[in-house]
Chains A and B, each alone.
Chain A
Amino acid sequence: MTPSTGSTEELTQSGPPQTIEAVPVRHPGRWVGAAVVALIAASLIRSAIENPNFHWDVVGDYLFDHRILDGVVKTIELTILGMVIGIVLGVLLAVMRLSPNFLIRGASWFYIWVFRGTPLIVQILFWNFIAALYPSIDLGIPFGPSFIHLNANDFITLFLAGTLALGLNEGAYMAEIVRAGIISVEEGQTEASKALGMTRSQTLRYIVLPQAMRVIIPPTGNETISMLKNSSLVSVIALAELLYSAQLIYSQNFQQIPLLIVASIWYLAMTSVLSVGQFFLERHYGRGRSRDEPTSLFDQIRSGWSARHADPNRLIQRRDETGGR
């Protein structure tokens, strides 16, 4: 947009069907605010560069250290397994919660009550010490013969304890998310499926869950990001995920800050990747919901950019492109 230099004369001369080129309203408060922000940012950056205690050289040395990389892999494994357990359990608990049977509904409610009502770190410790509670694990018919006998101390490894704690805890949260998703699907959808002769499970699988996904996916993405960060809590049971790997290193070289920065950089990198993945998942499950064609991530960034830099003509034009069919 070219800045308007014209006077009122110029406006009246050039005839009626003309684009408005008004002087925009000034926002002095915003400019002051932006200046303050810029100043604070500059001083933070300067201190990050000049303060020797950051030890950026040490950060560089350890960023790709094999112990750190092993920790990253463990963190990813814990996150994936924890979420898989959490989602499967969540769907099961949500369906149970909607059951007409009181006992089944009650069991689901009780599970969620316990696992949401106690701190995750306590649950992690519980699973770590499970052998003290149940020295042996027998699989078989309740009150009947058992087929498999396991020594809890050997069977519940650190990794299994950590995975179980994260997954079982997540199940309680996912149950509420899935339930909200199922409830969000209109009654007419179930009715139409019934009228077509579908069974309850077919209706759930083909009609209700795919639509519930639209409601379930965004919070599940957030849960995955939380899970990635919460997996650092299993460092309390000395499981060498990312944080504990960093702790192991700084317990020897006493470079706490640089190693915590190393861990933070990896956490940030991983959560960023997850955010991008979430975008594509949301778009996939949102299909058929809007009259507009789905746009790519690139298009959205571009339109966000152009919306801010647009002149009014361009904006109107865009609306025509998308809405005019």
Chain B
Amino acid sequence: MADPIVRVEEIHKSFGSLEVLKGISMSVNQGEVFVLLGPSGSGKSTLLRTVNHLEKIDAGRIYVDGDLVGYRQQGEKLHELRDSEIVDSRAKIGMVFQHFNLFPHMTALENVALAPRIVLDRKGSEARRRATELLDRVGLADKTDEYPARLSGGQQQRVAIARALAMEPKVMLFDEVTSALDPELVKDVLDVMRELAKLGMTMLVVTHEIGFAREVANQVIFMDEGVIVEQGSPDQVIGNPKEERTKRFLGQVLEH
């Protein structure tokens, strides 16, 4: 198999005196759906945010598509990348947030078309055409000219997914993207993600949707207190967990 798209090697991260990542290693292959499970505060969102350098790491290495994230290695020395260089590597990584973070002063279409136009230097007409296609794909063809405030949470989140896809990323990061949604809107968003997985998109997903993880994931990691407790196929980790902590967590989540 070819090199993994995301390779995380022994990373550590602290906020002040609190160490939230204590030596995490993992690798995500092309076309894989990788689900991170764990109680809140376990460090899974932080791990996700280190992959596109929204959080700096204190130790370790992260490679995306073969390139070191955030730094350039020359001999033994690491050099911090300039703003413009980090930007290039981020453009390869799509990210969707818990609270959507759509740009409220732009319509759905403008939200999707902006970054391709100004970051990838696409022509305006080309970017809009592509944005229309993507919004159609996430089932929002009739909402292109709406401002985010007039869309439901589920619709906003699907616009956010289209916006990330517009950059034609090699990997997509999903940070608890259904946690802020009303229950009846969750399915629409998960359907879009299932579709993406089917099309072979490499995905790194932090979620509490155990059913989704079980159905779609190729690999599941269970994290707690900054370490990987258990890792394997969904059938192993969710269906037949070995560690006590994993069992307890799954019991709590599946109970209600």
The answer, among B99, B147, B167, for a CB contact under 8 Å with A197, is B167
A289 and B119 contact, Cβ closer than 8 Å, known pairs A197-B87, A199-B84: no
List of A residues within 8 angstroms of B97 by Cβ: 188, 191-192, 195
Which residue in A195, A288, A289, A290 is a CB contact (below 8 Å) of B90? Answer: A195
The answer to whether A195 touches B105, judged by C-beta atoms less than 8 angstroms apart, is: no
Report Cα–Cα, A288/B110, bound state, in Å. Answer: 12
CA distance A290 to B104 in the complex (A): 10
Assembled-state Cα–Cα distance A207/B119 (Å): 13
- What residues of B have a CB within 8 angstroms of the CB of A291 in the complex? 149-150
Whether the Cβ atoms of B115 and A289 lie closer than 8 Å is: no
**Which residues of B have CB within 8 Å of A287?**
105, 147
CA distance A197 to B83 in the complex (A): 10
CB neighbours (8 Å) of A194 from chain B are 54, 90
Q: List 19 A-B contacts (CB under 8 A).
A: A189-B101, A191-B97, A194-B54, A195-B94, A196-B91, A196-B119, A197-B91, A197-B115, A197-B167, A198-B119, A199-B87, A202-B119, A207-B103, A211-B103, A288-B105, A288-B106, A289-B105, A289-B149, A290-B149
Assess the A197–B149 pair: CB atoms within 8 A. no
* Chain A interface mostly: helix
A288 to B103, CA, bound (A): 9
With a cutoff of 8 Å between Cβ atoms, the chain B residues found around residue A211 in the complex are 103-105
The 10 A-B pairs of least Cβ separation, nearest first, read: A197-B91, A288-B147, A192-B101, A188-B101, A195-B95, A196-B115, A197-B90, A197-B119, A197-B87, A288-B105
Known: A194-B54, A289-B149, A290-B149. A199 touches B106 (CB 8 A): no
Does A200 reach chain B (CB closer than 8 Å)?
yes
Q: Would you give the 0/1 interface string for B92-119, flagging 1 where the beta carbon is closer than 8 Å to chain A?
A: 0111010101111111000000110011
Among B103, B105, B106, B107, which residue has the most Cβ atoms of chain A within 10 A?
Answer: B105
Return B155 CB to nearest CB of chain A, in Å.
Answer: 13
- Contact-residue bracket for chain A: 20 to 34
Known interface pairs A188-B97, A188-B99; A196-B104 also in contact (CB < 8 Å): no
> How many angstroms from the CA of A290 to the CA of B107 in the assembled complex?
13
Q: Which residues, 163 to 205 on B, are CB-close (under 8 Å) to A?
A: 163-164, 167
B19 within 8 A of A: no
Query: Is the Cβ of B104 less than 8 Å from the Cβ of A288?
Result: yes
A221: Cβ under 8 A from any B Cβ: no
Alpha-carbon distance between A200 and B101 when the two chains are bound, in angstroms: 17
Q: Which residues of A contact B115 (CB under 8 A)?
A: 196-198
A300 and B22 alpha carbons, distance in the complex (Å)? 58
Most B-side CB within 10 Å, residue of A197, A199, A210, A288: A197
Q: Does B88 contact A (CB under 8 A)?
A: yes
Task: Point out the residues of chain A lying under 8 angstroms from B104, CB to CB.
Answer: 211, 288-289
Q: How far is the CA of A207 from the CA of B103 in the complex (A)?
A: 7
Restricting to A172-230, which residues have a CB under 8 Å from any CB of B?
186, 188-189, 191-192, 194-200, 202, 206-207, 210-211, 214
Assembly CA distance A188 to B94 (angstroms): 15
Q: With A188-B99, A189-B101 as given contacts, are A288 and B119 in contact (CB-CB < 8 Å)?
A: no
Q: Does B148 contact A (CB under 8 A)?
A: yes
Determine whether the beta carbon of A200 is less than 8 Å from that of B91: no
Least distance between B52 CB and chain A CB atoms (Å): 6
Contact A196 B90 (CB under 8 A): yes
Query: Which residue of the partner chain, among A186, A191, A214, A288, contacts B149 with CB atoms under 8 Å?
Result: A288
Q: Which of B84, B102, B115 has the most CB of A within 10 A?
A: B115
Most buried by A among B90, B101, B102, B114: B101
The residues of B that contact A195 with a CB separation of less than 8 Å are 52, 54, 90, 93-95, 97, 164
- Closest A residue to B147 by beta carbon equals A288
Complex Cα distance, B167 from A196, in Å, reads 7
The 8 A CB mask of A45-56 against B (1 = contact, 0 = none) is 000000000000
How many angstroms between the C-alpha atoms of A290 and B147 in the bound complex? Answer: 9
Inter-chain contact B105/A196, CB cutoff 8 Å = no
